[in-house]
Amino acid sequence: YRLVLAGQVQEERKFGDPAFVGELKRFNIDVHTDVPDDTMARLMRDCAFTAYPSLQEGWGLPAQESLMCGKVCLVSSTLPVAQEIANPALIRISPTDFYGWHEALRTWLENAQMRRAFAERAREYNAPSWREIAQVILSRLP
């Protein structure tokens, strides 16, 4: 397995540095920025599971996309998406719990039977439509 980091880079200075990216590759870490939709779909389809250790989120789309693709998603427990989605394939971990993340990554990587079982549960997730989301937002306006 390789760790694949895909999406927008917060620390562009480091990830734009060929020496830093080369060092990551030596540790089986690939970095993909500005990923086209078809490439992201392939990465999601082929991955064992996803991890979303972010401290901030927009709409929680990476976690939702993971579930919709039948993938377990390790997610920061403090994110709204972790609190709003009730699905057992969304594994909530404190963003500051290094050992918790380490153990979760190792467990989900090494246990294919558990990944298959939770993939079925992930597929049970039914994402709300944009209309439903807009209605919730509008219903909360004064």
How close are the terminal C-alpha atoms of the chain, in Å? 50
State pTM to two decimals: 0.81
What's the rounded Cα separation, in Å, for the pair 71 and 119?
Answer: 5
User: Where residue 21 falls among pLDDT bands split at 50, 70, 90?
Assistant: confident
* Mean pLDDT, residues 69-92: 93
111 has a pLDDT exceeding 90: yes
